[in-house]
Structure 1
């Protein structure tokens, strides 16, 4: 993806929502079979023993088909894999640039590939399964952090990791997610509210998990011991991203099982009502001060 990556991501997810509107399928959970029928694409399961790819886009002249992996035994991941192949089909330029070997393009969905076309298809899939117009009401009802992610996951029938990314894309909360494998970062996303906190660093792919964190301690356990494990603690955003000020943070950790990965959700409720201004640099009116100190609750 070239240019502004945040803008490109939003454009891809907006394109996915427009596809659903065009075919009057803008409801949760999105009916992927109906979309396939509407555009003349055949859906078929891959053999359960097939590993190493999440799905395939088949092309024979002007005819297309989608095969999706079932070896993970996870409906959310299967649906995300189908959405990923739809991304290759619908996003401009993909059919001209992605490789087709003997009429099949093999994908690795789930934000694990560095290939820009695979990443674009991932973002399209996230927007297809979890359109912005339908995610907003879910977030207004749910508690911040992991409960919001699980609410999206349940209503959209999406994978937990894809739901976590959509939460970060859409939330007004100051939050971040980190997906790691064997103690190293796979990827990290921050919400817009958290990005405004000054002086932070970024956790890049391959970086070690911050020492002393709950996530690092859980990731260090044998896979069989932590399988399905989840835990929560209070920490400080400085422990994860550094910065210029301490902010109380809730760290929620879930073992994903699949491919030995761990999901971390970091929530900073203290920053939701923060104006991100230095109080020494401005005079606050009585009205503004009253508004800032009046508790706010989600409807």
Structure 2
């Protein structure tokens, strides 16, 4: 992927995030946690939703019923087992945010009204399809709007301890909270997700991108440190949660090749239920400044 293509895609995802934040603000959702179910109910009767355990069929699905001029969300509550009555698991909340994206984002909505086929979605950054990535971006903006989220995650450098604390406050999953933390961080950092011994996706903070480090290609090979950590994750015994690496192991630098040997600290966090290994990648600001000089 070229730098221009990456910037174009990132622009679309950024628009979706800002739309999610706008909906949260217009709905007067200033307290925590943001309630996506209340937002959905506010669109009645044009939008209705039904909850049920749809097993592994989908996380959510939005349909348009022309006869009644009505949208209907089917939301999978399979993650809600063990929750108190009236409460929802963070992944269920994110799925509602994802389906609301298909309702609020004009091209998504126009597609359904125009006769496009409904489809079941797997939310929380599982899909490579751009429309699904836009819906995930919207959900992140809706549930973790910048004005509430950024002050909490920029008090100090990012860490998984900080991410866990913020996730509890916003009632969002570790995965989506970690992504949002990196996206809004004032520090140079990135977040990688490892699945099946390869890079599933990556996000970078604005300071890291401005320094010349861009996300690595999806599906690309991993450094030896990450492969070892992945094997430990698979065996359920991730031991050394901090490892050493360099920029060239993880990021695309395009024409800023002098950055490739810059030191990176790799912090690992296992999410067995999603068979995912998160890698928080932090770079010292002074090291990047030295390279720029």
Question: Which band: TM-score by shorter chain?
Answer: 0.7 to 0.9
Q: Deviations over 1:223-243 (max 9, x none)?
A: 35248x771234333433374
Once structures 1 and 2 are overlaid, which stretch shifts more, 150-159 or 264-273?
264-273
1:21 is aligned to 2:25? yes
Mapped partners of 1:30, 1:202: distance in 2: 29
Contact 1:248 1:270 in 2 (8 A): no
Q: Deviations over 1:144-172 (max 9, x none)?
A: 23234323322211122211221122111
Mapped partners of 1:135, 1:156: distance in 2: 9
1:210 is aligned to 2:229? no
Q: Which residue, 31, 55, 62 being the options, matches 2:60?
A: 55
Q: Deviations over 1:26-78 (max 9, x none)?
A: 33210122111211143433315x10421111333322232222334582211
1:267 is aligned to 2:282? yes
Change (3 A) 1:3 1:38: same
Q: Who is 1:181 aligned against?
A: 195
Q: Who is 1:92 aligned against?
A: 106
Mapped partners of 2:285, 2:6: distance in 1: 34
TM-score, normalised with respect to structure 1: 0.80
Mapped partners of 1:222, 1:22: distance in 2: 42
1:46 is aligned to 2:59? no
Q: Secondary structure at the match of 2:269?
A: strand
Say which structure is richer in helix: 2
Change (3 A) 1:37 1:72: closer
Q: Who is 1:107 aligned against?
A: 121
Q: Secondary structure at the match of 2:58?
A: coil
| Number of residue pairs matched by the alignment | 273
Contact 2:233 2:277 in 1 (8 A): no
Mapped partners of 2:64, 2:167: distance in 1: 31
Mapped partners of 1:3, 1:249: distance in 2: 24
Mapped partners of 1:178, 1:129: distance in 2: 21
Q: Secondary structure at the match of 1:189?
A: strand
Mapped partners of 2:147, 2:99: distance in 1: 22
Contact 2:159 2:280 in 1 (8 A): yes
Bigger Rg, structure 1 or 2: 1
Mapped partners of 2:248, 2:7: distance in 1: 30
Q: CA RMSD in A?
A: 3.0
Q: Deviations over 1:90-126 (max 9, x none)?
A: 0011123259999853112122222221111111011
Change (3 A) 1:17 1:249: same
Alignment gaps of 5+ in structure 1: 279-299
